[in-house]
Amino acid sequence: MLGATCHRIPAKRVIPVILKIIELFKRNKKPGDTLKDWIHRIVNGKEDSEIKSILDMRKALDPLTIPPTKEEDPDFFTDYGSDSSYHTKTGKGECAA
């Protein structure tokens, strides 16, 4: 298996999510474990620590998937490399919503 879907992560939260996974790994790994070993046990439901399943991983990452308000973090709504904030655009034509 190449991977299992756990969550949809906003692009601006990828780094905090990776850091959270590393934190969870350090806290829950067994001696000699690699990240791959630990994730493999989680995906296969054979882990016996705080994160026993993909559902547990999802719950641990949930707070990082909730977008802030524009007032809390206006940068969150700006695309990388852009100086204008995100807004939806509806065009004309058959693909327009």
Name the band, by pLDDT with cuts 50, 70 and 90, for residue 64. very high
- The predicted-structure confidence for 4-47, as pLDDT tens digits, reads as follows 777 888 888 999 999 999 999 999 999 999 999 999 999 998 99
- What is the residue-wise DSSP string for 5-68? ------GGGHHHHHHHHHHHHHHHPPTT--HHHHHHHHHTT---SS--SHHHHHHHHGGGGSPP
Backbone angles phi, psi at 63, to 5 degrees: -60, -25
CA dihedral sign of residues 85, 88, 90, 91: positive
Angle between helices 54-61 and 14-28 (to 10 degrees): 130
